[in-house]
Chains A and B, each alone.
Chain A
Amino acid sequence: MGIGGMVAKLKADVADTGEPLLEVKDLSIDFHLRTHILHAVRNVSFALERGRTLCLVGESGSGKSVTARALLGIVDRQGRIAGGRILLHGDEGEVDIAQMTERSSELLRIRGGRIGLVFQEPMSSLSPVHTIGSQIIEALRLHRRLDARAARAETVELLRQVEIRDPETMVDRYTFEFSGGMRQRAMIAMALACDPDILIADEPTTALDVTTQAEILDLIKRLQVSRGMAMLLITHDMGVVAEVADDVAVMRYGRIVETGSVDDVFHAAQHPYTSSLLSSTVRLEQPRADIRDRAEALGEPVLSVRSLTKVYGAVSGWFGKSGPALTAVDDASFDLHAGENLGIVGESGSGKTTLGRLILRTVEPTSGSITYRRKDGTSDDVLALSKAGLKDYHRQVRLVFQDPFASLNPRMTVKQIVGDPLVVAGTLRGAALEHRVGELLDLVGIDPRSMERYPHAFSGGQRQRIGIARALALDPSVLIADEATAALDVSIRAQILDLLLDIQKRLGLSFIFISHDISVVRYFCDHVAVMHRGRIVEMGTAEEIVNNPREPYTQSLISAVPNPDPRNKRMLHRTRFKS
């Protein structure tokens, strides 16, 4: 059957939506760890219906991915299905996937044949040493018994369907020659190769930029509707849920706490966890109450950046030029005022992180200037500072890291970590040091009595608080926060942002807030600079940028952000940016 015929058949099928294809009943999965059994999934029940999308939403550790994989009979080595049924309905009646062994041929027919799977990591979920084509052809030959030539033709057709340009050439390329978005498209093509009834997408867009995310979600949704598949989408992002879901199941600590249609869940949530999840998300979607009067009450600029540029790789090596020069940051200029929160947004590769490092001079700029003004009115040319001067500058301008796990030395106690800058500065010691560390911990909401503990005793959000306490130890005037909330779950993210705002109010700091997440920037920042390919393409107040962007790139960026309101889907009406 050709693609055309298939689509026609499926179009006909779309009519009978609502028929359950797969039912999960009381599914429980246990993980046998060294010291304890973790009940990763407990009594989970839901159903997937033809033509509908169920979103399984939850924060990290909620057991949502484990559940999704179990539907294909894939359970990690330490894990086992402790109870429940996974009923797949087909022409020959229903079968229970939970009862099947790893080697049963029936299970192998279902995997890829009736249920397709798309993964989060487009980098690592395709084999790096095989061409994209060969990986898709393999699935086709396995389930549809095509000969090599037909399978190849079909693969090219599939790549075309997932909107990969020039599929005849790309079919013979390796994964590392693909961009992240392209890989995810190839992955989708693979999952759809054998025309499955059910598509499971496990965080399919989490690792992607927001504009790419919009395109991929768009593609998945269109393919699901046109093929009349049932879809299970796993995500942590309520925005994504609102954009694509028909039904929602909210998971937490291995249990489903609430299920319902997307509209009910978003507009009439009954479980307190669902409400808090929503409010954390929605709160970040709205401007802060005090934002307008703040933008006007700004002081002198503390940091002035002019024409800052960083060019990589223009040096000629032994074997001629080692590749073309890459301009990571191109002619960036802005002022940071006292008490201001400046947001720098951009997608991966836009140069925003490099810009942050340039300001701190952990990466040396190629050209441009940075001027830092102290509270006493004197000013420094940062690029001309001596080693000692730079040390002093680093006491004034501090960095908050993205990864709360990597940025704290696991071999030092919290007291040592937070106290380290004070010890180096030589200002405090002994009981005074301890007292100051206690103050700082108190300030960031950590119990000072736990200062003798090591970082491994704290959760991600708590560690981020410790990192902030360290940044504050030397009474800085500027904090540069590089994706400081990106690694955190949404509810924790909101708490950390509020903490930072609170500290700012108390200590009169300025922030440079680097993020890919527009809603976070909008919530937190007074002014926003949008970066694209190393250049600052647009600057303005947060409200201007979000509500009334002028540049086409900014428009496409803003409109690609999923809106956590199913009654007002934004992504599907987005403007596309053509460079």
Chain B
Amino acid sequence: MTTQVFLDTVGEERPAVSPLKTGAPLEDIAVAGQWRLIWGRFIQHRVAVGAGIVIAVFYFIALFVEFLAPALPEASRPQYTYAPPQSIGLFVADESGGTRFQPHVKGYAIEVDPVALRRTFVVDDTKIVPIGFFVEGPTYKLWGVFAMNRHLIGPLNPTDPMYLLGTDKLGRDLMTRLIYGTRVSMSIGLVGVAISLCLGVVLGSLSGFYGGWVDMTIQRIIEVISSMPTIPLWLGLAAAIPLTWSPLQVYFVITLIVSLFGWTGLAREVRGRFYALRGEDFVTAARLDGSGERRLIFRHILPSLTSHILAVLTLAIPTMIVAETALSFLGVGLKPPVVSWGVLLQDAQNIRTVATAPWLLVWPAAAVVVVVLAYNFLGDGLRDAADPYES
């Protein structure tokens, strides 16, 4: 082969690249810590960001339940049993024949089925129920403290019927109840995950860090719990709650039960990562630098874990929400007068009821599915972004 030299390559210092988009300047990335890198990766997941916004909206609703709901959850009006959802109209025809801007819903007329002798509601186009924002309505206490009577939306005349999502068998407004249920259902996820986090992280770290018989025992316990089918077990534990307990007590016990079985997955994840990290060179290096056990865990191992834990937690919340819903649906979880999505779905247990009033199934179910879906998308995005250092 003849010798050939390409001297035009002499000055090259790095591989040739053509930039596709102008990213963050190099200098900026050089001093970016892990959370900035994770954030940078996360916001590239459009779906996950969207899901995060959806969840934020739900928590916002949960926070201002009393103000956002048009009525009170227990206010029942027997004359409006199983009233169907109304739709909002924006313009009404006024006397002079023109149209005028006036948000409204149509009222109900009652028809009696001559054969079944059943009352059914039909929308009565002649009855106009004007509605508005920030209207005065039933008095409530925001967060149990501030007495107020303004509602985000409602009929201008408080005695008029406005049931945007319909009513249940006692004539209670489904939308109001759904909004109140949001607070209970969404918070169960958060509280449950907090308990799981404590159990999972503590036991998982112990297991992963000390190994040996500690690990062995904890692993056995996890194995036993995670190989039990969850629903029978939840049922068994929830059924043991005495009927005499107050709703608040029941709420906390249910949360505890739900989180008791959520922690195993978290503990496994934490243990696995602990194991992997314990063998990492940089941890050995820190040990040789003289770091004690506590410093090793808190300064070197846990910061590498937090993003992963966050992702796993996010994915654990929906299971807890579903668990609460399932238990309440079966009648062994939360019970009325507490309102949660599961309690609402209890009304939809009977197929005949669903056939008469499908909204009783559709809206609570939709709320559950949307939230669970959003959490899964968000958790997935977080998991992908959790380790910004792998290529």
Residues of A within 8 A of B (CB): 32-40, 42, 47, 54, 61, 63, 246-247, 252-261, 264-265, 268, 270-273, 360, 362, 391, 394-395, 398-399, 401-403, 406-411, 413, 420-421, 424-425, 450, 452-454, 456-457, 467, 470
Contacts and interface: CB of A to CB of B under 8 A. Distances in A.
Interface of B: 1-7, 9-10, 12, 14-21, 23, 29-34, 280-282, 284-291, 295, 300, 303-304, 389
Contacts, number: 140
A298 to B, nearest CB: 26
Contacts of B10: 271-273
A271 to B, nearest CB: 5
A425 B9 contact: no
19 contacts: A36-B20, A37-B19, A63-B15, A253-B9, A255-B9, A270-B5, A271-B9, A273-B9, A360-B288, A362-B287, A391-B290, A407-B282, A413-B31, A421-B289, A453-B30, A454-B30, A454-B32, A456-B29, A470-B289
Contacts of A413: 31, 33
Given A54-B1, A258-B4, 14 more contacts: A34-B20, A36-B19, A39-B15, A253-B12, A254-B15, A260-B1, A270-B5, A394-B289, A402-B281, A409-B304, A410-B34, A454-B30, A454-B32, A457-B30
Contacts of A403: 281
B177 to A, nearest CB: 46
B212 to A, nearest CB: 13
A406 B20 contact: no
Shortest 4 CB-CB contacts between residues of A and residues of B = A260-B3, A457-B30, A407-B281, A421-B289
A270 B9 contact: no
Contact of A399 (B15, B30, B285, B295): B285
Give chain A's interface secondary structure class: mixed
A454 B31 CA distance: 6
Given A39-B17, A454-B33, A457-B29, A406 B23 contact: no
A257 B6 contact: yes
A399 B20 CA distance: 42
Given A35-B20, A37-B18, A247-B1, A409 B295 contact: no
Contacts of A407: 281-282, 284-285
A382 to B, nearest CB: 14
A362 B7 CA distance: 51
B281 A252 contact: no
Contacts of B9: 252-253, 255, 257, 271, 273
Contacts of B303: 411
A391 B289 CA distance: 8
Contacts of B15: 38-40, 61, 63, 253-254
A35 B6 contact: no
Contacts of A398: 288
Contacts of B23: 35
B22 to A, nearest CB: 9
Nearest to B13: A253
Most interface-central of B21, B23, B34, B290 (chain A CB within 10 A): B290
Contacts of B19: 35-37
Given A259-B3, A410-B34, A39 B288 contact: no
Contact of B295 (A402, A424, A453, A456): A424
Contact of A456 (B7, B282, B289, B389): B389
